[in-house]
A and B are shown apart, each in its own frame.
Chain A
Amino acid sequence: MRTPVFLTLLFLCLPASTLVAQTRHHGKRPVKLQIPIDSLTVNGTSLGSVDVVTENHMNKGLVTNPLNALTGQAAGVNITSGENRMAQLSSVRVRGTTSITGGNDPLVIIDGVYSDLSALSSVYPSDIESFTILKNAAETAQYGSRGASGVIEVKTKRGSGTQFHISYDGNIGFESKYKTLDMLDAPGYIATAQALGLYYKDEGSNTNFQDIITRTGYIANHHVAFSGGSKESSYRASLSAMDHNTIIRTNSYRNYAAKADLTQWAFDDLLKIDFGVFGSSQKSHDLFNPWEVFYSAAAQNPTIPATTNADGSGDKNNTAEQINHPMVLLKKKNDTKNLNFDAHIDMDFNLLGLLSDKSNDEPSIHLLLLGAYSYNSLENATFCPTWIWAQGQATRGERKTESWLGNAQLKFDDTWGAHHLSATLLTEYQKSNASGFWTLVKGFTTNELGYDNLGAASTIPYGGTGSDADSPSLLSFMGSLSYTLLDRYTLGASLRADGSSMFASGHKWGAFPSVSLSWDLTKEPFFHALSHLFDIMRLRTGYGQSGNLGGISSYYSQNLVKPIGTVSVDNTPTTTMGLFRNSNPNLKWETRSTFNVGTDISLWHNRLVLTAEYYYSRTTDMLYQYDVPVPPFTFDKLLANLGKMSNQGVEIGLGVTAISRKDMELNVNLNLSFQKNKLISLSGEYNGYQLTAPDITSIGSLSGAGFHGGENNIVYQIVGQPIGVFYLPHCKGLVKNENGSYMYDIEDLDHNGRVNIEDGGDRYIAGQATPKWTLGSNISFRYKDFDISLQMNGAFGHKIYNGTALTYMNMSSFPDYNVMSKAPEMNIKDQRATDYWLERGDYLNFDYLTIGWNVPLHSRYISRLRLSASVNNLATITAYSGLTPMINSYVVDSTLGIDDKRSYPVYRTFSIGVSIQF
């Protein structure tokens, strides 16, 4: 707890060495071994801001996913949990969305091996030593195209020293719902229908389906780790298990993981070998269609009994076609099994040492070799019983991916006089083999077997069964240099060439340079007077480019045919092959150029740490499915490199150790980021003529009864605006109809005498869906052996479309669909989407509060015992009237910014944890 408190530690080449020395120091080993953190981290070229979140700063409380440990801890990193907040795979955006088509997920590197967010989610948080987040182009350059959207380097724990350790971490928690939508209960429903003289169905119960579909959630984690070693080697192995039953009755997750790492030193420590294996098995029981379940739970007739009939079916309001009995809907299955296995070996040769006897002197030349293999298998099975799906339906599918990686680096490092030079040459080759298979069957007479015996179904319709395969590869070369003069001026430069199999020949290669500069003022003579005050005072800037191909998949540049359908040929059903998209042989790399300038200041022995950074990035040759004219094109979309987009922002981090005494410590950390995105253009030249994609394209719309068609579009992508803006008709207020009900009074914005709320008509830009500001803050206080920690996250400056309220306040769907308690009074009979239900999305959420006690034991065997208690999702401060403002506000898809009947009930988690180290 006495180590530097700030969540953001700033790695720079020389200062980094000292830091590295702390974390890497192996007793009496020579300091020269500090250089490779792991084979892929080229600290020599890392100039700029690197956020390192070490174990001390990871989120506490109940953390079941490594990304939860990171939420709110680094500026510019937005982590959106899945719809049910904790359990589902989170999505991560580093400095916002930079590409429309894809490749916005940051690259995840686990112990030097390329990985992804899904694999990371299976690693147990206690196995992680640190996260390092690379945001600037000069830092991500070493990962090339895959790192274009930022990099999260994850370093897992390894054995160290010779002592045997065994540790146990575990916690159990309970989840309890605290907020649901306020719908009419049965008496209210009946009274309203009677007052309006409407026919209603009364089945005699008073059911709150929103309660019925939920339960008290339960979560348990166990993690055991062993480590030990000898003088020449060390190992660490761990086993973990997680069991999570969410508050929704049929929604649960299991994760089992095992991990083992071995480090061996040889030839007087001139060769170091790291070997690691990791395996995990995740099982999840998800909702088949959460939207349908929550829509049904809120809008189903409350007089219907909660229980289902003896045969398994359930009653429903038959006139409400879009919804069903929620308890029957929960019988739909959507189960996934995810298996991961990774192995890697990593060798570091001190070449000069091995080839001569001058082992301790500069310069040093290291050869690093890495080989890695990873295997992933994802199996999904669904079942829709006959009660709610005519004749029933089951599917099974699997996707298997194997991937090989080979990487070789030559590193040179020398110091002479006031000069320090390091250089790296790197080459890397990655190849994957992916294959998928899926099938769909219909026609069940029993619901007992589910998807476990597809033979129980009578038919396998055409188009429901298929398979696919591809094997993309990527080859890269990189050279980088870092030169430091007088320990204070550092210049870094790198050039990387990436080649991908997915582009046609002639377009395969892209070259991406980067440069960076840094100036450490504290080392300047003129600064000496202040040096007792300042620990760090540094200015830095950088510029670089990186390529992105996340927007494309294999085969996009080739003219290929696939099965189109079956027709009768010579009286036999025959599958024909045909074109299915416009191919583009000219596809090339999407390029992102980033400029950044920043400063890092640390005062009073790190009691106050401040970091500030401005960045500007521009994406060019942006991959996008552009609209092309039909005719002459056959299909209306063409994946091409045309558009431009910019992102800029300011990131500020502040850490204050207000109290730092032996018995008491108070730390306040805060990070704030401002982010602004702009879609600059979506047009350009293709094959000699100008392509202009429409300036306005809808991204997200409402769904449900009576919502079909362009008039229900809510969120758009508009050239000149941030991606994801609300483009809506303006409602001047409510007006009274002849029959006493109210409707939205829509303004004729184009003054043409007629209100037209289609895309091109009376709409205006009413706000953006992505937050302008985000905040993460942690306050931790320690008194003797007790500590308390509070994490707050917030987002500001964005809006949310409350489609849930629009739907449930609409009396014209009553009594087929239940409405909110306030609806009869307001008596709105209108469901046109206007800005009436567009609300400010600002919020401040108290993510968790943890109280811990490090039990002062003087046992010979127990070195540490910690007990803790936490509350997660403590409270939210917001003016937003819906269930929760924490919807998808970052990821550009059809749900961006729209709260449309799909929010999980809001819940808190109460947990206790124990951590013992022997």
Chain B
Amino acid sequence: MMITKRLLLLFATALVLSTFSSCLDENTKGLLPEEKAYNSATNLYINTVATLYNYIGGNSDSQGLEGTVRGLYDYNTFSTDEAIIPIRGGDWYDGGFWQNLYEHRWTASDEALYNTWLYLYKVAMLCNHSLAVIDANRSLLTDKDYLAYTSEVKAVRCLFYYELMDMFGRIPYVTKDQESYADVKQQERSTVFHNIIDELQACLPYLANEHSNLEGNYYGRMTRPVAQFLLARLFLNAEVYADDDWTDKQHPDGKTMTFTVDGLTMNAWQACVHYCDEIEKEGYQLQPDYAFNFSVHNETSVENIFTIPMDKIKYQNQFWYLYRSRHYAHGGAIGMDAENGTSATLATVHAYGYGTDSLDTRFAINFYADTVKVDGKVVTQESGEPLVYQPLVMAENLTYSPYEKTAGARMAKYEIDRKAYADGKLQDNDIVLFRFADVLLMRAEAKVRNGENGQSDLDAVRRRVGMPCRPATLDNILRERLLELMWEGSRRRDLIRYGLFHKAYDLRQPIESESDAHTIVFPIPTKAIDLNNKLTQNKGYKTEK
């Protein structure tokens, strides 16, 4: 057996030698080792700060703040009385997804809910990573740049934590890159709320005081007015966000909550008004033509504050909503496909005064209704009959309706980009996230809630579209928000703030046990709890196994 031993020895020697050889080195080609991406101040900016703006919009399900489907926008829109995707025969059943949204029967195991959670946290974690990288490469930067870069990243992180807190209430608030698993802990809603406010306020001085919607050096970026808008929104909803138990039928009072704003002590409503004033000072105003804000080339709007830059060639962000709403024949007439889905609810159509003498002028801009014309020609259906949308016909399930395919007023608002790609999903109209009309309505509401007069702001909004003034009551302001901000993803937050979200509205009856208002936040996704058993479920929800 000498031979065996020798062979084994030889074998062992060969093995040892090989470990010193370089023939198993992996030299990266095609992908870049991370540290090489931060070799200059410019690249550090591009690959830590600018790269985050890739995630504001999106091009696949549940990605992006707006523009795509089954994500943040859908959870904030189809769960309300604003809009609905009814079942139309073989179309739009989709396992009951849309019906469940409308009825508030979502569950913790919904795939889209978890995907939305993953999307929002992905960006928050990328922000943490960017901050760590900027810190590690601080020597490349001047102090001014360092503060500007880190503040911009932190403010973007606040935007995403804001959406997480708004959707899920009690969430882990992780601000460290590669945080250890053990330190990922769920925070109460008010804690997250206050953290976001503190951080945003700290960032404000270092953010560029520039208009982010204009093409230029600040296009699409988190600038000071954008952060101020977010702060105004946070304060306006303070009663909701500062409430750690939203099922106990009590909530803190915005009037008595105190915050420090620019060295002054203010209550929530005053703080909201303060930031609205700041935005106004920066030169934003109502665009004379409401529709211009949503036109193909809306980059020069004086009203838009924060947008998702869209360009069918330059950027990948997509906008699915017109495609998803219009009838097939309507799509055919403009040379694009269509999905014949999204419609206005009956409540919305009535709110606009459809069928009455006092039809709101914004109806024609926000909706396609009645006989559809393209390029002046009436669009015809397969049957040769004209395509007529029926705003006054709507149900959760239209399957047996004679108007199965044509019921409902459809989404308009955004001008159709006739040169768009991908059936209109790659359009040139920038997607509007924040705009000044909302600032005016926020200010009006905050003033009224604070016992002041909000009439002038409400009047400004109504006058711009040629509508007669209405008294600035809370109810009228809520109504105006629907009319003005239709299709802009605002409704869920508004209904919750008014305490109406869990009540009956439109065709919807509250579901069993909804009287405790537990549905004003979504459940923590089952999968998130499975993977981190320190997370606990929100009140009123079951974590189905």
Tell me the A residues contacting B by CB distance below 8 Å: 199, 201, 317-319, 321, 390-391, 412, 423, 425, 427, 429, 431, 442-443, 459-463, 467-475, 477, 479, 481, 495, 497, 499-502, 508-509, 554-555, 557-562, 564-571, 573-574, 576-579, 627-636, 689, 691-692, 694, 705-712, 739, 756-761, 810, 812-814, 816-817, 829, 831-832
Contact = CB atoms under 8 A, between A and B. Distances in A.
Given A321-B338, A569-B46, A709-B112, 5 more contacts: A474-B24, A509-B15, A555-B26, A566-B54, A760-B545
Contact of A757 (B23, B46, B95): B95
Interface stretch (B237-245, B309-317, B346-354): B309-317
B336 A390 contact: yes
10 contacts: A199-B383, A321-B328, A390-B423, A481-B7, A576-B51, A577-B51, A579-B129, A631-B121, A636-B122, A694-B527
B329 interface: yes
Given A568-B219, A711-B95, A760-B544, A630 B121 contact: yes
A321 B421 contact: no
A566 B29 contact: no
B458 interface: no
A347 to B, nearest CB: 21
Given A475-B18, A632-B174, A711 B216 contact: no
B220 A568 contact: yes
B90 interface: yes
A199 B10 CA distance: 83
A444 to B, nearest CB: 12
B33 interface: yes
**In the A-B complex, the 3 residue pairs with the closest CB atoms:** A711-B95, A813-B90, A576-B51
B107 A577 contact: no
B372 to A, nearest CB: 14
Interface stretch (B179-187, B228-236, B431-439): B179-187
Interface in B192-226: 215-217, 219-220
A712 B97 CA distance: 11
A239 B312 CA distance: 50
A471 B15 contact: no
Interface in B1-37: 3-4, 7-8, 10-11, 14-15, 18-19, 21, 23-34, 37
Given A391-B421, A576-B46, A813-B90, A570 B7 contact: no
Interface residues of B, number: 101
Interface stretch (B144-152, B250-258, B446-454, B528-536): B528-536
Contacts of A508: 24
Nearest to B385: A199
A495 B14 CA distance: 13
A509 B121 CA distance: 36
B143 interface: no
B167 to A, nearest CB: 15
B296 interface: no
B247 interface: no
Nearest to B87: A706
B90 A629 contact: no
Contacts of B215: 568, 571
Contacts of A560: 28, 31-34
Contact of A462 (B7, B15, B313, B400): B313
A150 B508 CA distance: 59
Given A319-B328, A565-B54, A576-B54, A633 B125 contact: yes
Contacts of B314: 462, 566, 573
A333 to B, nearest CB: 20
Interface in B256-294: none
Given A423-B4, A711-B97, A636 B118 contact: yes
A559 B11 contact: no
B532 A629 contact: yes
B478 interface: no
A412 B532 CA distance: 57
Given A319-B382, A567-B220, A831-B90, A694 B33 contact: no
B316 A390 contact: no
A353 B131 CA distance: 70
Given A568-B215, A634-B129, A423 B32 contact: no
B95 A470 contact: no
Given A501-B26, A632-B125, A709-B112, A443 B54 contact: no
A826 to B, nearest CB: 16
B28 A829 contact: no
A319 B406 CA distance: 11
A434 B390 CA distance: 58
Contact of A832 (B18, B95, B311): B95
Interface in B68-109: 89-97, 107, 109
Given A201-B383, A812-B90, A461 B126 contact: no
Contacts of A431: 23
A810 B121 CA distance: 40
B492 interface: no
Contacts of A571: 215-217, 219
B510 interface: no
Contacts of B481: none
Contacts of B516: none
B173 to A, nearest CB: 9
Contacts of A816: 89-91
Nearest to A496: B11
Contacts of B4: 423, 481
Contacts of A425: 7, 10-11
B369 interface: no
Contact of B172 (A481, A631, A705, A814): A631
B312 A501 contact: no
A744 to B, nearest CB: 13
B383 A567 contact: no
A631 B91 contact: no
Contacts of A497: 15, 18
Contacts of A627: 527, 530-531
A760 B107 contact: yes
Given A319-B328, A321-B337, A562-B31, A569 B45 contact: yes
B34 A559 contact: yes
Nearest to B216: A571
B310 to A, nearest CB: 11
A462 B316 contact: yes
B190 interface: no
A862 to B, nearest CB: 53
B443 to A, nearest CB: 30
B50 interface: yes
Nearest to B327: A319
A501 B51 contact: no
Interface in B333-391: 335-340, 381-383
B47 A576 contact: yes
B75 to A, nearest CB: 14
B122 A635 contact: yes
Contacts of B107: 756, 758, 760-761
B246 interface: no
A635 B126 CA distance: 9
A630 B111 CA distance: 15
B8 A817 contact: no
A467 B129 contact: no
Nearest to B21: A475
Contacts of A691: 531
Contacts of A317: 382
A478 B139 CA distance: 51
A623 to B, nearest CB: 17
A832 B93 CA distance: 9
A492 B419 CA distance: 71
A824 to B, nearest CB: 15
Contact of B426 (A461, A559, A573, A577): A461
Contacts of B383: 199, 201
Given A201-B382, A630-B125, A813-B90, A473 B97 contact: no
Nearest to B14: A477
Given A318-B382, A561-B37, A813-B89, A479 B174 contact: no
